[in-house]
């Protein structure tokens, strides 16, 4: 029998000691439990849809901008690098990274914000919780159960945030939000890998789009320091290559900082088991200095990229598409595909159930499908 955990630290998530799946299954044999999770995620419908879901820029605005899919792949790559350095479970990190956005709406965060507002009387909308709903219920690939039947540890890593109200509905999985304990180190690591990925690729996409300039980026100490280092090392290097060199060095600096800081914390706390990790403070983190620099970078991107007037124009249009689709479906559920129509139950219960089904339908849309669906319903040219 293959020992998939032999190289891991004692505080890592060992697949042989997993808390298991919601529905019992035979062991996967030639794969670890977390490899099986990763493979199921990659073959899922929701994962494929990420190719046409917005990260910052709409998919059709340019072929080279990141999408939710390419972002998730970058998170997985950074996560595996960090996990290997810290002797954590790479397969669990990869599975969590690839699945963390499968519940995200079309049109990036604006889609989530609008759906949350529209669903305020029906339990709200959280994209992390929706990702869990996708892998637990909405995927339909297996005869024995709904969803993908992932391990507890992968599901735990997917659920990055959760309101207390919703946590109370999740049983064991939601308990850490109530008790204020920590998830596995792999989940903590994936969270930071996500931040490292989007901070750096949003710089690249922002500059490529022309919404950011190099002069603006020089206002950010973390970026400026590495850009000047590139200029000293490679005088006269063309702009795109200089940018790639700068971003590469930023990612290297961030990951090295996470490894050094986390190794020191792990040595100090010395957890001997994943259960000790859950009772400890967060152990995968940036140093204070790097955290200050990444926070400054995020504030810069928020002010200069995410709230740029051209991005805001997209946000307004996207908001209108999501809002009008939701309102139309609530007013006339017969506009929905049959699988999303709710016809049974008392009025209030039926309305609540119908709203959740509409949220599932809209959240599962790609950007271009949502635009086409909006056009089919509202454009007279589609008669």
For the domain that residue 207 is a member of, what is the CATH number? 1.10.3210.10
pTM: 0.93
The reported pLDDT for the residue numbered 60 is 46
Mark whether 170 and 243 lie in a shared domain. yes
Shared-domain flag, residues 317 and 360: yes
For residue 16, is it within any domain?
no
**What pLDDT score was predicted for residue 286?**
98
Residues 283, 356, single domain; the answer is no
Q: Considering 255, 288, 309, which residue would you say is the last residue of a domain?
A: 309
Q: Within 10 A of 193 (CB to CB), how many other CB atoms are there? A: 28
Residue 364: inside a domain, yes or no? yes
My answer on whether 325 and 277 are in the same domain is no
Count: domains in the chain: 2
Tell the residue number behind the tokens 């494929």, with chain if given: 48
Cβ neighbours for 300, distance < 8 A, ≥ 6 positions apart: 216, 219, 220
Can you say how many angstroms the Cα of residue 193 is from the centroid of all Cα atoms in its chain? 10
Are 104 and 242 contained in the same domain?
yes
Instruction: Examine the fold and report which residue of 276, 309, 342 is the final residue of a domain before the chain moves on.
Output: 309
C-beta separation of 36 from 160 below 8 A: no
3 state SS of 192: helix
What's the confidence (pLDDT) of residue 67?
87
Report the C-alpha gap between 298 and 304 in whole angstroms: 10
Q: Quick check: is 215 in a domain?
A: yes
Instruction: For residue 230, tell me if it sits in a domain.
Output: yes
> Do 78 and 191 fall into the same domain?
yes
* Separation CA 307–CA 305 (nearest Å): 5
Q: Cβ-count burial of 281 within 10 angstroms (0-12 exposed, 13-18 middle, 19+ buried)? A: exposed
Digit-by-digit pLDDT tens for the chain (383 residues) are 688 898 999 999 999 999 999 999 998 889 999 999 999 999 999 999 999 887 665 544 544 577 899 999 999 999 999 999 999 999 999 999 999 999 999 998 889 999 999 999 999 999 999 999 999 999 999 999 999 999 999 999 999 888 888 899 999 999 999 999 999 999 999 999 999 999 998 898 889 888 899 999 999 999 999 999 999 999 999 989 999 999 999 999 999 999 999 999 999 999 999 999 999 999 999 999 999 999 999 999 999 988 888 888 888 999 999 999 999 999 999 999 999 999 877 787 899 999 999 999 999 999 999 999 999 999 877 65
Q: What is the DSSP letter of 10?
A: T
Specify whether 251 is located in the same domain as 372.
no
What is the token pair recorded at 28?
């996967």
| 7 Cβ contact list (under 8 Å, min separation 6) | 87
> In this predicted structure, what is the pLDDT of residue 58?
52
* Domain presence at residue 78: yes
Domain residues for 323? 310-382
Q: Which of 279, 309, 339 is the last residue of a domain?
A: 309
Instruction: Please give the Cα distance from 71 to 323 (Å, whole number).
Output: 26
Contact indicator for 233, 59 with CB cutoff of 8 Å: no
Is residue 24, in this structure, part of any structural domain at all? no
Same domain, yes or no: 98 and 206: yes
Question: Is there a domain that residue 56 lies in?
Answer: yes
pLDDT the model gives residue 382: 61
In degrees, rounded to 5, the angle at the alpha carbon of residue 207 between the alpha carbons of residues 205 and 211 is 95
Cβ atoms of 286 and 192 within 8 Å: the answer is yes
Cα distance between residue 211 and residue 306, in whole Å = 10
Any domain includes 9: no
Cβ neighbour number for residue 338 with a 10 Å cutoff: 7
Do residues 57 and 112 both lie within one domain?
A: yes
User: Do 326 and 263 share a structural domain?
Assistant: no
Q: Find, among 245, 247, 223, 188, the residue nearest to 296 by Cα.
A: 223
Q: Do 88 and 186 form a contact (C-beta atoms < 8 A)?
A: yes
pLDDT of residue 309: 85
- The first and second tokens of residue 68, run together, are 């939710």
35/31 Cα distance (integer angstroms): 6
161 and 293 within one domain: yes
The answer to whether the beta carbons of residues 78 and 251 sit under 8 Å apart is yes
Nearest to 105 by CA among 91, 84, 119: 119
Do 146 and 60 lie in one domain? The reply is yes
Secondary structure letter of residue 102 according to DSSP? T
């Amino acid at each position: 029998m293959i020992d998939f955990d032999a190289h891991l630290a004692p505080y890592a998530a060992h697949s042989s000691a997993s808390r298991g799946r919601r529905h019992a299954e035979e062991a996967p044999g030639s794969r670890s439990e977390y490899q099986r999770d990763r493979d199921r995620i990659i073959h899922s419908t929701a994962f494929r849809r990420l190719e046409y879901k917005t990260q910052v820029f709409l998919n059709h605005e340019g072929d080279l901008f990141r999408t939710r899919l390419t972002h998730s792949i970058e998170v997985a790559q950074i996560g595996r690098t960090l996990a290997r350095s810290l002797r954590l479970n790479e397969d669990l990190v990869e599975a969590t990274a690839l699945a963390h956005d499968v519940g995200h709406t079309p049109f990036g965060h604006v889609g989530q914000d609008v759906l949350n507002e529209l669903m305020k009387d029906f339990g709200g909308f959280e994209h992390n919780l929706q990702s869990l709903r996708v892998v637990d219920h909405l995927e339909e690939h297996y005869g024995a159960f709904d969803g993908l039947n992932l391990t507890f540890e992968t599901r735990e890593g997917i659920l990055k945030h959760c309101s207390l109200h919703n946590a109370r509905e999740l049983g064991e999985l939601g308990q850490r939000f109530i008790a204020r304990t920590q998830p596995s180190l792999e989940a903590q690591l994936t969270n930071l890998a996500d931040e490292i990925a989007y901070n750096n690729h949003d710089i690249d996409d922002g500059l490529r789009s022309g919404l950011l300039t190099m002069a603006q980026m020089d206002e950010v100490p973390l970026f400026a320091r590495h850009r000047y280092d590139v200029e000293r090392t490679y005088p006269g290097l063309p702009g795109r290559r200089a940018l790639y060199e700068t971003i590469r060095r930023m990612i290297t600096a961030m990951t090295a900082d996470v490894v050094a800081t986390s190794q020191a914390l792990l040595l100090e706390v010395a957890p001997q088991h994943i259960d000790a990790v859950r009772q400890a403070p967060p152990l995968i983190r940036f140093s204070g200095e790097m955290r200050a620099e990444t926070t400054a970078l995020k504030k810069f991107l928020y002010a200069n990229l995410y709230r740029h007037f051209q991005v805001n124009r997209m946000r307004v249009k996207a908001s209108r598409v999501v809002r009008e689709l939701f309102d139309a479906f609530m007013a006339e559920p017969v506009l929905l595909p049959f699988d999303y129509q709710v016809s049974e139950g008392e009025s209030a219960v039926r309305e609540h159930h119908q709203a959740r089904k509409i949220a599932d339908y809209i959240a599962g849309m790609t950007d271009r499908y949502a635009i086409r669906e909006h056009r089919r319903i509202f454009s007279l040219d589609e008669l």
